[in-house]
Amino acid sequence: MAKSRKHVIEKILPGSIAEELELQKGDAIVQINGQDVEDVFDYRYLLNDEYVEILVEKADGELWELEVEKEYSEDLGVEFENSLMDDYRSCSNHCVFCFIDQMPPGMRPTLYFKDDDSRLSFLQGNYVTLTNMSEHDIDRIIHYRLEPINISFQVMDPELRCRMLHNRFAGEALKKAERLFKAGILMNGQIVLCKGLNDGEKLEESLRILSEYAPVLQSVSVVPVGLSRFREGLYPLEAFTGEDAKKVLCCIHGWQDRMMKKHGIHFVHASDEWYILAGMPLPEEESYDGYLQLENGVGMLRLLQVETEEALRNRTGDDRRISGTIATGALAAPFLKDHMERIRKKFPNVDYRVKAIRNDFFGESITVSGLVTGQDLIRQLKGQELGERLLIPCNMLRDGEDVFLDDITVQQVIEETGVPLVVVDEGGGELVRCVLEPEDPHVRKRRQSYEQTGSSHRGET
């Protein structure tokens, strides 16, 4: 049997079918119903039956042929060494906007891995460029209805796309989106806007072409390129100005009006940074079409406000006394200050200072909280009066770990600042709860670290 087709079991869940079958850690699933299992999607699809035949290779090489009767969608109850059940596919592009290329040397090796895997797009919401997908991959997406698929379009001019992605096949890869559209596979799109490259007339052209895919293409986000201070030897990109942002928003709002009339959706959305950079108010909640692009920073600040106000409406004010500090990126800091004022109207003795952490590590132009490092947090908070505790958003930490991007631990921050640290889960309700209640829920979400993560907005500290 080909080694790549063996999927080694890491854990047997108690009370599961696998336990009843006497499977053990180290056993490998080889085939289901006589078919090789390529990855997790084959595994799930082939198991969706009331009767399955499973070929298992034991750790000593012995083969077991097992016949299983079960509920239609019932799982075997195993966890594999690799949750994808296959190697992750790395990106072969050298995009001019890639944030991973702008990271300093000497960090944890996993931080330099660029994924471009359509399966992670379905499972985790990652964006893919289509350049790493074969026709077989497209066939499987259509066959298994793996939707929505998130696509990094960047620009619809094939020649310019090749230049921006530094991949001579990048323009041709756009035809794969056409296949997905014709098959009715739901998609979301992304454009990382780079000044002088894919903005202006090129942005208009891209949105015109992409609008023809609606409503199968549910949404397109437009985000400004993030520029760190580690760009030596990379393509010379400029930060957007406030006037630039106004022009981008004028283009986007024009397309929103057209798409509302044609399809009843806004379709194209600007990330929050554009409004802040332009000095314009955030759109109302209905403009976000159900917040399809939150992970790209589209509507996050508006949703936080809506959820915070809702959480406060459900609480009765009192005279409790609590003090603390909320540390966040410069982008969100002014909005969190407003939320603290809302909380104080009901709870006048609750006193939280909002501290905008300047990003000295990547550069001041990076203002999102997800790229705040532990060392910047310590350097800017140590020795200050922080109150009873320090609150940070969960996206400062890596998934499932009490570790910041630069390998500084939560415990180190606690020791250096001298106060307990509370990790706030996503959502305004959790923000209100963590501000008002003494216990730390200790909930951590998966860290988003896409190539495009970042902000060209400098922000006010």
Question: Is 87 within a domain?
Answer: no
> With contact defined as beta carbons under 8 Å apart, do 296 and 190 qualify?
yes
d(CA 119, CA 15): 29
Check whether residue 51 and residue 109 sit in a common domain: no
Question: Is 443 within a domain?
Answer: no
Strand 35-36 versus strand 28-32 pairing type: antiparallel
Check whether residue 15 and residue 104 sit in a common domain: no
Note the pLDDT of residue 94. 82
Q: What is the pLDDT along the chain (461 residues), one digit of tens a residue?
A: 334 468 888 899 999 999 999 999 999 888 999 888 887 777 877 888 899 999 999 988 899 999 999 888 788 988 887 765 666 555 677 888 887 777 787 776 665 455 544 454 444 557 888 888 888 888 988 988 888 889 999 999 999 999 999 999 999 999 999 999 999 999 999 999 999 999 999 999 999 999 999 999 999 999 999 998 988 888 999 999 999 999 999 999 999 999 999 999 999 999 999 999 999 999 999 999 999 999 889 999 999 999 999 999 999 999 999 999 999 999 999 999 999 999 999 999 999 999 999 999 999 999 999 899 999 999 999 999 999 999 999 999 987 789 998 989 999 999 999 999 999 998 999 999 999 997 644 444 433 333 333 333 333 32
- Which residues lie closer than 8 Å to 172 by C-beta, 6 or more apart? 158
Buried/exposed 200-230: b ≥16 CB within 10 Å, e otherwise: eebbeebbeebbebbebbbbbbbbbbbbbeb
CATH (domain of 21)? 2.30.42.10
Check whether residue 419 and residue 286 sit in a common domain: no
Buried/exposed 84-102: b ≥16 CB within 10 Å, e otherwise: bbbeebebebebbbbbbbb
What range does the domain containing 417 cover?
303-436
Which residues lie across from 397 on neighbouring strands?
404
3-class DSSP assignment, residue 134: coil
Note the pLDDT of residue 456. 38
Q: Which of 278, 298, 318 is the last residue of a domain?
A: 298
What does the DSSP 8-state code read for residue 299? S
d(CA 67, CA 179): 38
Note the pLDDT of residue 392. 96
Report phi then psi at 63, rounded to 5: -100, 130
Question: Is 233 within a domain?
Answer: yes
d(CA 397, CA 382): 19
Question: Is 254 within a domain?
Answer: yes
d(CA 166, CA 188): 23
Question: Is 269 within a domain?
Answer: yes
Check whether residue 394 and residue 270 sit in a common domain: no
CATH (domain of 279)? 3.80.30.10
Helix, strand counts (H, E) of the chain? 14, 14
If you compute the radius of gyration of the chain from its CA atoms, what whole number of angstroms results?
Answer: 24
Note the pLDDT of residue 458. 33
- Which residues lie closer than 8 Å to 38 by C-beta, 6 or more apart? 5, 85, 86
Check whether residue 318 and residue 262 sit in a common domain: no
Residue in this structure with the two tokens 């109302």, named with its chain if needed: 284
Report phi then psi at 69, rounded to 5: -105, 130
Note the pLDDT of residue 298. 95
Instruction: Give the start-end residues of each E strand in 203-342.
Output: 217-224, 268-270, 322-329
Q: What is the full DSSP assignment across 374-424?
A: HHHHHHHHTTS--TTEEEEEGGGB-TTSSBBTTS-BHHHHHHHH-S-EEEE
Amino acid at 429: G
Note the pLDDT of residue 72. 83
Q: Which of 298, 325, 360 is the last residue of a domain?
A: 298
* CA 343 from centroid of its chain's CA atoms: 29
* CA 19 from centroid of its chain's CA atoms: 35
- Which residues lie closer than 8 Å to 212 by C-beta, 6 or more apart? none
Question: Is 36 within a domain?
Answer: yes
Check whether residue 140 and residue 281 sit in a common domain: yes
Length in residues, the chain: 461
d(CA 38, CA 42): 6
Structure tokens, 326:
């909320």
CATH (domain of 359)? 3.40.50
Torsion sign (Cα): 404, 119, 65, 67: positive
Q: Which of 47, 80, 113 is the last residue of a domain?
A: 80
d(CA 226, CA 235): 13
Check whether residue 291 and residue 321 sit in a common domain: no
Check whether residue 182 and residue 247 sit in a common domain: yes
Question: Is 382 within a domain?
Answer: yes
Question: Is 227 within a domain?
Answer: yes
Note the pLDDT of residue 114. 52
d(CA 212, CA 225): 25
CA distance readout (Å), 202 to 54, 132, 244, 344, 371: 52, 24, 14, 47, 29
What does the DSSP 8-state code read for residue 34? T
Check whether residue 62 and residue 113 sit in a common domain: no
Check whether residue 312 and residue 366 sit in a common domain: yes
What does the DSSP 8-state code read for residue 394? G
Check whether residue 32 and residue 163 sit in a common domain: no
Check whether residue 200 and residue 325 sit in a common domain: no
Structure tokens, 59:
């750790």
Buried/exposed 249-283: b ≥16 CB within 10 Å, e otherwise: bebbeebbeebeeeeebbbbbbbbbbbbbbeeebb
Burial of 66 from C-beta contacts in 10 A (0-12 / 13-18 / 19+)? middle
Alpha helices in 201-266 (DSSP H): 201-211, 242-263
> With contact defined as beta carbons under 8 Å apart, do 360 and 230 qualify?
no
Note the pLDDT of residue 87. 61
> Cis peptide before 158, with omega less than 30 degrees from 0?
no
- Total domains in the fold of the chain: 3
